[in-house]
Amino acid sequence: EPEVTQTPSHQVTQMGQEVILRCVPISNHLYFYWYRQILGQKVEFLVSFYNNEISEKSEIFDDQFSVERPDGSNFTLKIRSTKLEDSAMYFCASSEFPGPPNYGYTFGSGTRLTVV
């Protein structure tokens, strides 16, 4: 069964550093997403991406965050100048069709980011 692959599975970074979380979506999918889950809290939507553009973003997704599809296979989330409160599990997802109403996404296994 096709999978969404996320690397690394766990990353530790010092406060103020930049991190890049990487995702390889399913090859025929066109819509990409990032979600995060702070420990003990709900999984929250960050951003959706289609046709090399952000299609929707939450209020969490401020100027500290950016996304990119640098080549035909990778989808990255960059966090500049990390803060302690950025520590969370970050999930990448992809879908073949837009929007969730009739389709579920395929999620990756997540990257646990720890900011120290």
Partner 1 sequence: AQSVTQLDSHVSVSEGTPVLLRCNYSSSYSPSLFWYVQHPNKGLQLLLKYTSAATLVKGINGFEAEFKKSETSFHLTKPSAHMSDAAEYFCVVTRTGNQFYFGTGTSLTVIP
Q: Which residues bind partner 1 (CB under 8 A)?
A: 3-4, 6, 9, 31, 33, 35, 37, 41-45, 48, 55-56, 58, 91, 93, 98-102, 104-110
Residue by residue, what is the 3-state secondary structure of 11-37? Answer: EEECCCCCEEEEEECCCCCCEEEEEEE
| First-last CA distance in the chain | 36
Cβ nearer to partner 1, comparing 23 with 82: 23
Cβ nearer to partner 1, comparing 59 with 71: 59
At 84, phi and psi to the nearest 5?
Answer: -55, -35
> CA 6, CA 116: separation in Å to the nearest integer?
21
Cβ nearer to partner 1, comparing 75 with 91: 91
For residue 59, the surrounding DSSP H or E stretch is: none
Identify how many contiguous H helices and E strands the chain contains and give both numbers: 0, 11
| Least distance from partner 1 to the Cβ atom of residue 18, Å | 25
| Least distance from partner 1 to the Cβ atom of residue 6, Å | 8
| Least distance from partner 1 to the Cβ atom of residue 67, Å | 13
Cβ nearer to partner 1, comparing 31 with 75: 31
Q: Amino acid identity, residue 3?
A: E
| Least distance from partner 1 to the Cβ atom of residue 89, Å | 10
